[in-house]
């Protein structure tokens, strides 16, 4: 028997129409450094139609790729809906990548149009001559277009956003698409080898947005005001733009104002109720709030993902500012939400905290398993440690351009995440490290993340990054690089003794280096390969305890 249900495709255009009508009075607020700009969701719908008409006139007639090189702002949100809605593919370019990586990604994706914020023009200008498939650049904001047109050459036509959209119709006949067609494209950060493309479908983005809205996800509702700090050029801003249109939650966009002071002002001035960003953002904000009391009473919780959140940071926000930190896990390949650490019913006290320290529980639709070194599936007992593998309707099954999934990243229909950890019987993931960052010392494994979290619990430590370095006797040993709080002091011996209170002596680092800042990747994670390289080249002056 077949069902009697209508087969209505899950399309981004339908999500746009829903948000622009049912939640038309919700707003997107864009920071400017002065008075913020405001646009209702109804206006986003009208501008999305205008942009779609403009792109059609620029030759976007099928599934061409339209790239964005933009901050989190209202215009970027318009592109999020207009491009996939018209049947093209939105390609979010990471503005923090090196020029050669940007060039590779844009050419591999065969971008046809680039939408760019005027403040980012100097970065785009460096690579534009090498972008062989780009034919049009659309500049959002005031800029010297004559200079850009001169540098772009005859192959590329340069347009001003407002001029291009002016006079266009405010409605668009959004096409009926296959919900499994590509809607958006993101590339992995490419820490080893070239970045790899992940193409999200309309269906996967819809289902992912539903999970973001769920109470077990981020719990968005029409009364929320969501501060989307996580970049829209990274893993679709964790699905927050689409989920907000689905739920009617207003969006607060920081544009380029990502420092602690303007973020605190946005929370206070716009009465944000929920926010999402990587741990380094919240570390800086905590330091600022401790020194500059700010009204953050509206902020119900902050979602932390991208890398492990130190427990000390979670406790500090709750105890000093009454802000609840929610741990989440995911990756570009999982759209990115893979799990959220909301404790089960009936737990409190230390048991609740133990759940909150994990990477969270997998939602309906996502399956997870732990696989051993020989490829055997390990029991979900919370103790067996191996590589985490996942599968589900918003998990990629291959990379763009691959005819068949590569064995190094996919196994029997499962995505190999490269994360090492355990899985409990009730679906909670506890990750101990990235497979490439585990320190293999004398036949034992040492978790660099566990060492980092323990170090960052010391009151004198702002940040700590731990990597494995060569050791003649043990093969590898941990090197701890530490950033101290402003005005604080500590010695390697003191920090070593502090760790000895919670960790086994054989796990503790002998090598220590104090640095001004931990190097970060393009998405704000600790860049451990840079730390290893600096140590290997002798640029890190490490002290060794005996």
Q: Is residue 60 a part of any domain in this protein?
A: yes
pLDDT by residue (tens digit) across 80-102? 999 999 999 999 999 998 899 99
Q: Give pLDDT, residue 85.
A: 98
Classify residue 208: in a domain, yes or no. Answer: no
In a domain, residue 297? The reply is no
3-class SS letters over 145-174: HHHHHHHHCCCCEEEEHHHHHCCCCCCCCC
Catalytic residue among 30, 188, 283, 481: 188
Instruction: Answer for the pair 296, 267: CB distance below 8 angstroms, yes or no.
Output: yes
101-105, 232-236, 348-352, 472-476: least confident range? 472-476
Burial label for 176, CB within 10 Å (0-12, 13-18, 19+), is: exposed
| Nearest alpha carbon to residue 534 among 440, 452, 469, 438 | 469
Per-residue confidence (pLDDT) for residue 491, from 0 to 100? 95
> Of 176, 202, 228, which marks where a domain is finished?
202
Length of the chain: 546
d(CA 396, CA 197): 10
pLDDT band at 24 (very low <50, low <70, confident <90, very high): very high
Region 448-452 average pLDDT: 90
User: Domain tally for the chain?
Assistant: 2
pTM of the model: 0.89
Instruction: Confirm if 540 and 515 have CB atoms less than 8 A apart.
Output: yes
More confident: 505 or 50: 50
What is the per-residue pLDDT for 258? 96
Note the pLDDT tens digit of each residue in 234-268. 999 999 999 999 999 999 999 999 999 999 999 99
Mean pLDDT of the chain: 94
Residue 143 covered by a domain:
yes
Compute the average pLDDT of residues 278-291: 94
Q: Please check whether residue 494 lies inside any domain of the structure.
A: yes
Residue 517 in contact with residue 468, Cβ under 8 Å? Answer: no
Which structural domain, as residue segments, surrounds residue 501? 439-544
Chain centre to alpha carbon of residue 276:
9
Region 430-434: mean pLDDT is: 89
pLDDT, greater one: 75 or 473:
75
Catalytic residue of the set 440, 444, 502, 543:
440
- Residue 282, pLDDT > 80, answer yes
* 149-153, 210-214, 354-358, 515-519: range with lowest mean pLDDT: 149-153
- The stretch 146-166 carries a mean pLDDT of 91
Residue 445 annotated in active site: yes
Predicted local confidence at residue 221, as pLDDT: 97
Q: Two tokens at 504?
A: 């086994």
Q: Using CA atoms, how far apart are residues 301 and 227, in angstroms rounded to an integer?
A: 11
Residue 192's pLDDT is 58
Q: Is the pLDDT of residue 191 over 90?
A: no
Q: What is the pLDDT of residue 373?
A: 85
pLDDT confidence of 185, banded at 50, 70, 90?
very high
Rounded distance between C-alpha atoms, residue 28 and residue 504, angstroms: 50
Specify the 3-state DSSP secondary structure of 510.
Answer: coil
Whether 333 is catalytic: yes
Per-residue tokens: 20 = 């622009």
Using the CB atoms, write b or e for 67-91: b if 16+ within 10 Å: bbbbbbbbbbbbbbbbbbbbbbbbb
**342 within 8 A of 326, measured Cβ to Cβ:** yes
- Checking if the pLDDT of 510 tops 80, the result is yes
In the chain, what percentage of residues exceed pLDDT 90? 84
Please state, as a whole number, how many other Cβ atoms lie within 10 Å of the Cβ of residue 398.
18
pLDDT given for residue 190 in this prediction: 54
Q: Quickly tell me which residue has 């009697």 as its tokens.
A: 4
For residues 410 and 408, give the distance between their C-alpha atoms in angstroms, rounded to a whole number: 6
Which residue from 180, 205, 300 is spatially nearest to 12, judged by alpha carbons?
205
Q: Which of 202, 218, 236 is the last residue of a domain?
A: 202
Where is the domain boundary, 161, 182, 202? 202
State how far the alpha carbon of 216 is from the alpha carbons of 222, 326, 342, 343, in Å: 17, 11, 7, 9
Residue 205 has pLDDT above 90, yes or no: yes
Q: Quick check: 488 pLDDT over 70?
A: yes
Task: Evaluate whether residue 72 is within a structural domain.
Answer: yes
Catalytic status, residue 440: yes
Please identify which of the residues 333, 387, 452, 463 carries the catalytic annotation.
333
What is the chain's Cα-based Rg?
24
| Distant-in-sequence, close-in-space partners of 99: CB < 8 Å, separation ≥ 6 | 126, 127
Which candidate, 449, 85, 57, 83, places its Cα nearest to that of 93? Answer: 83
Q: Tell me the longest C-alpha to C-alpha distance in the chain.
A: 74
CATH of the domain at 64: 3.40.50.12780
pLDDT score for 445: 78
**Residue 386 belongs to some domain of the structure:** no
Three-state DSSP state, 417: strand
Rounded percentage of the chain residues whose pLDDT exceeds 70? 99
Q: Could you confirm whether 396 is annotated as catalytic?
A: no
Give the CATH number, domain containing residue 497: 3.30.300.30
Q: Note the pLDDT of residue 473.
A: 82
d(CA 300, CA 224) in angstroms, rounded, equals 10
Region 60-82: mean pLDDT is 98
User: Is 315 inside a domain boundary?
Assistant: no
Q: Has residue 63 got a pLDDT over 70?
A: yes
**Is pLDDT above 80 for 523?**
no
- The single residue of 445, 450, 474, 476 carrying the catalytic annotation is 445
């Amino acid at each position: 028997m077949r069902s009697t249900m209508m087969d209505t495709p899950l399309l981004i255009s339908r999500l746009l129409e829903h948000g622009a009508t049912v939640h038309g009075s919700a707003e997107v607020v864009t920071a400017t450094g002065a008075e913020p700009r405001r646009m209702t969701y109804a206006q986003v719908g009208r501008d999305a139609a205008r942009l779609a008409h403009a792109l059609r006139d620029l030759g976007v007639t099928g599934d061409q790729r339209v790239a964005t090189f933009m901050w989190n702002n209202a215009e970027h949100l318009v592109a999020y809906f207009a491009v996939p809605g018209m049947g093209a593919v939105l390609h979010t370019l990471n503005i923090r990548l090196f020029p050669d990586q940007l060039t590779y990604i844009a050419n591999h994706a065969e971008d046809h149009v680039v939408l760019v914020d005027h403040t980012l023009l100097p970065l785009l200008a460096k690579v534009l001559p090498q972008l062989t498939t780009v034919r049009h650049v659309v500049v959002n904001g005031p800029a010297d277009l004559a200079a850009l047109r001169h540098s772009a050459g005859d192959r590329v036509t340069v347009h001003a956003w407002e001029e291009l959209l002016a006079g266009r119709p405010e409605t668009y006949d959004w096409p009926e698409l296959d919900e499994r067609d590509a809607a958006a494209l993101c590339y992995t950060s490419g820490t080893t080898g070239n970045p790899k493309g992940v193409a999200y479908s309309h269906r996967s983005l819809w289902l992912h947005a539903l999970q973001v809205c769920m109470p077990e996800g981020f719990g968005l509702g029409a009364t929320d005001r969501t501060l989307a700090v996580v970049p829209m050029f990274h893993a679709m801003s964790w699905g927050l733009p689409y989920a907000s249109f689905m739920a009617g939650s207003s969006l607060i966009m920081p544009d380029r104002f990502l420092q602690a002071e303007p973020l605190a002002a946005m929370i206070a001035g716009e009465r944000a109720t929920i926010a999402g960003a990587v741990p380094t953002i919240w570390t800086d904000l905590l330091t600022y709030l401790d020194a500059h009391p700010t009204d953050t009473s509206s902020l119900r919780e902050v979602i932390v993902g991208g890398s492990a959140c130190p427990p000390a940071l979670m406790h500090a926000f709750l105890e000093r500012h009454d802000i609840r930190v929610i741990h989440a896990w995911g990756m570009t390949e999982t759209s990115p939400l893979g799990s959220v650490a909301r404790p089960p019913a009936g737990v409190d006290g230390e048991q609740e905290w133990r759940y909150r320290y994990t990477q969270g529980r997998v939602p309906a639709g996502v399956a997870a398993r732990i696989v051993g070194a020989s490829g055997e599936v390990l029991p979900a007992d919370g103790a067996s440690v191996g590589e985490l593998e996942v599968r589900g309707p918003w998990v990629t099954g291959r990379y763009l351009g691959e005819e068949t999934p590569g064995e190094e990243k996919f196994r029997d229909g499962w995505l190999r995440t490269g994360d090492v950890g355990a899985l409990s019987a009730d679906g909670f993931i506890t990750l101990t490290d990235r497979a490439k960052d585990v320190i293999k010392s004398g036949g034992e494994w040492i978790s660099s993340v566990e060492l980092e979290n323990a170090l960052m619990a010391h009151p004198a430590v702002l940040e700590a990054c731990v990597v494995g370095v060569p050791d003649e006797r043990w093969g590898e040993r941990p090197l701890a690089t530490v950033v101290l709080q402003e005005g604080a002091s500590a010695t390697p011996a003191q920090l070593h003794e502090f760790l000895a209170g919670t960790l086994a002596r054989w796990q503790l680092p002998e090598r220590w280096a104090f640095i001004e800042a931990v190097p970060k990747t393009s998405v704000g994670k600790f860049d451990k390969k840079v730390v290893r390289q600096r140590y290997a080249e002798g640029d890190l002056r490490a002290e060794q305890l005996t």
